[in-house]
């Protein structure tokens, strides 16, 4: 039987059957940690699924707070909003820090996963919650990759997609940024090829990887406006710095070491591996034909200063999707603009969701290949609850 447990506002769904992965491996006893807001309608048709970014979690009302609340895009008075920690994460859903069947943490033994695997886990959660129709799937960055896969893996249930700062596939540009992070992490002697002890993690390597990522997430304009070229100004956390340190250096160290306190190195590697292998066309055909099969209304958010998922990536998506609208977000904050400037683009997302047509069957334009079928064995009867 599938079991549900609660820890405050965080809930966990345990699947009774092994969860099959694209790689051919499987995960026994998969647990999915999630939060929800609002109440599912009797028809099960008022859901919105929120997908988080690389180091995010299920607390979408915290990291995307400008989108939440009465009269906003994500309105718990109207919608049943669900956000789960992603498969392979370290905030409750099964991942490298979870306990394997042999009683030890999975660690580096945790199988390779894909964006499609992550979405299939979310699909299993939607089934267990009794969600019959999803008004919209929304996400930014890694969450934006997942939103696109929802439209292909579960076209009948997915009514619309909002994908921000994402792409149809990971470009060579994105991949080299990921590889620089891998090299930094693995250079830490404590990494030990992933066999580090939980109480002796590769802190320096993970901090260096996060520092590299932070540079790719921001823009020159953003840092210049905030810090200029001065050594005074902001102090981050309680970390000491010499009088000669630039404030921008302190900012970077603060974010680098901050991640170490809340994240796991093997988890980080599994997730960036999943992102690098993302390609909506893989095993399905060419990009143009695959994207043309996404018949749902789509809002594609593009950040003007994004140097990681560059605006050309989103323009390509908007041009290939049959019912897409391009939302150009004027932000100086680079890739992180999808979080920092959410207040500015919330009205556009709200209008998009409000203007969606009433529920209707979505044409199944996509004939799923065998490896596109979600693995849902062992799900119990439908469950409904709100947090």
Q: How many CB atoms lie under 10 A from the CB of residue 175?
A: 15
Which is it for the CA torsion 108, 113, 119, 120, positive or negative? negative
Task: Measure the CA–CA gap between 183 and 180, rounded to whole angstroms.
Answer: 5
- For 196: left if phi > 0, alpha if psi spans -120 to 50, otherwise beta; the answer is beta
Query: Is the pLDDT reported for residue 364 higher than 60?
Result: no
**How much is the pLDDT for 294?**
98
Known catalytic membership, residue 306? yes
Q: How far is it, in rounded angstroms, from Cα 178 to Cα 188?
A: 16
Q: Residues within the annotated binding site? A: 210, 336
pLDDT of res. 371: 32
Q: Which two tokens stand for residue 376?
A: 């849902």
Give the percent of the chain with pLDDT over 90: 84
pLDDT of amino acid 229: 57
Return d(Cα 329, Cα 295) in angstroms, integer: 24
pLDDT digit string, tens, across residues 179-190 = 999 999 999 999
pLDDT bin (cut points 50, 70, 90) of residue 228 is confident
The answer to whether 131 and 218 are in contact (CB under 8 A) is no
Query: Domain 174-273: which topology?
Result: Rna Polymerase Sigma Factor; Chain: A (1.10.1740)
Contact 14, 29 (CB under 8 A): yes
Residue owning tokens 């992550």: 118
Q: Is the pLDDT of residue 381 over 50?
A: no
SS3 of residue 267 by DSSP:
helix
Average pLDDT, the chain: 89
Q: In whole angstroms, how far apart are CA 24 and each of 118, 231, 360, 376?
A: 15, 53, 35, 15
Q: Collect all residues with Cβ–Cβ distance below 8 Å to 9 and sequence separation of at least 6.
A: 35, 387
Give the pLDDT confidence of 91-140 residue by residue, as tens digits: 999 999 999 999 999 999 999 999 999 999 999 999 999 999 999 999 99
Average pLDDT in the 213-232 region?
A: 85
Catalytic residue among 255, 257, 278, 335: 335
pLDDT at res. 246: 87
State the angle between helix axes of 142-153 and 115-128 in degrees (0 to 180), rounded to the nearest 10: 60
254 is catalytic: no
- Residue-level pLDDT at 375: 31
Catalytic residue among 141, 163, 219, 331: 141
Helix (H) / strand (E) element for 47: namely strand 47-51
Q: CA nearest 163: which of 378, 379, 385, 326? A: 326
Between the alpha carbon of residue 129 and those of residues 3, 10, 91, 132, 380, the distances in Å are 12, 14, 20, 9, 10
3-state SS of the chain: helix, strand, coil percent to 5?
Answer: 35, 15, 45
* pLDDT tens digit sequence for 72-98: 999 999 999 999 999 999 999 999 999
Q: What is the pLDDT of residue 12?
A: 96
Could you tell me if 143 and 53 are in contact, meaning their C-beta atoms sit under 8 angstroms apart? Answer: yes
Q: In the predicted model, is pLDDT for residue 366 greater than 90?
A: no
pLDDT confidence bin for 370, thresholds 50/70/90:
very low
Q: Is the pLDDT of residue 242 over 70?
A: no
Architecture of domain 3-170+279-372: 3-Layer(aba) Sandwich (3.40)
Q: What is the mean pLDDT of residues 34-57?
A: 98
| Helix residue ranges, H only, 163-263 | 172-186, 203-217, 220-227, 247-260
Average pLDDT (319-339) is: 98
Annotated binding site for substrate: 210, 336
User: For the ranges 214-228, 274-288, 317-331, which has the lowest average pLDDT?
Assistant: 214-228
Catalytic annotation present for 381: no
pLDDT digits (tens, 9 = 90+) for 258-278: 999 999 999 999 999 999 999
Do 3-170+279-372 and 174-273 share a fold?
Answer: no
Convert the pLDDT of each residue in 150-165 to its tens digit. 999 999 999 999 999 9
Catalytic member of 117, 264, 276, 306: 306
Q: What is the pLDDT of residue 1?
A: 38
The residue extents of the domains of the chain are: 3-170+279-372, 174-273
pLDDT of residue 5: 54
């Amino acid at each position: 039987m599938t079991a549900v447990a609660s820890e405050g506002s965080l809930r966990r769904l345990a699947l009774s059957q092994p969860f099959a992965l694209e790689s051919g491996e499987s995960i026994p006893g998969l647990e999915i940690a999630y939060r929800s807001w609002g109440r599912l309608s009797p028809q099960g048709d008022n859901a919105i699924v929120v997908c988080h970014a690389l180091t995010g979690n299920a607390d979408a009302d915290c990291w995307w707070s400008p989108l939440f609340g009465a009269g906003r895009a994500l309105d718990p008075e109207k919608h049943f909003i669900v956000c789960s920690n992603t498969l392979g994460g370290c905030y409750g859903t099964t991942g490298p820090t979870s306990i394997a069947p042999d009683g030890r943490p999975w660690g580096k033994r945790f199988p390779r996963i894909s964006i499609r695997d992550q979405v299939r886990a979310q699909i299993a959660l939607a089934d267990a919650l009794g969600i019959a129709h999803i008004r919209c799937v929304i996400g930014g960055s890694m969450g934006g990759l997942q939103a696109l896969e929802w439209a292909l893996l579960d076209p009948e249930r997915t009514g619309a997609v909002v994908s921000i700062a994402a792409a149809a596939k990971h470009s060579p540009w994105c991949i080299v940024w990921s590889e620089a992070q891998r090299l930094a992490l693995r250079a830490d002697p404590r990494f030990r090829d992933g066999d580090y002890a939980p109480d002796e993690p590769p802190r320096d390597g993970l901090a260096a990887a996060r520092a590299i990522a932070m540079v790719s997430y921001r823009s020159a304009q953003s840092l210049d406006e905030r810090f200029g070229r001065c050594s005074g100004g902001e102090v981050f956390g309680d970390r000491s710095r010499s009088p000669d340190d630039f404030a921008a250096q302190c900012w970077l160290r603060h974010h680098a070491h901050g991640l170490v306190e809340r994240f796991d190195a093997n988890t980080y590697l599994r997730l960036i591996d999943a992102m690098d292998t993302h390609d909506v066309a893989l095993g399905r055909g060419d990009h143009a034909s695959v994207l043309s099969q996404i018949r749902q209304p789509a809002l594609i958010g593009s950040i003007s200063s994004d140097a990681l998922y560059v605006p050309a990536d989103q323009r390509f998506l908007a041009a290939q999707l049959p019912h897409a609208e391009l939302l150009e977000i004027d932000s100086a904050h680079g890739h992180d603009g999808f979080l920092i400037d959410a207040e500015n683009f919330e009205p556009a997302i709200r209008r998009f969701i409000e203007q969606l047509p009433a529920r209707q069957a979505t044409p199944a334009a996509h004939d799923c290949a065998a490896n596109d079928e979600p693995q849902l064995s062992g799900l119990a009867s439908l469950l409904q609850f709100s947090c």
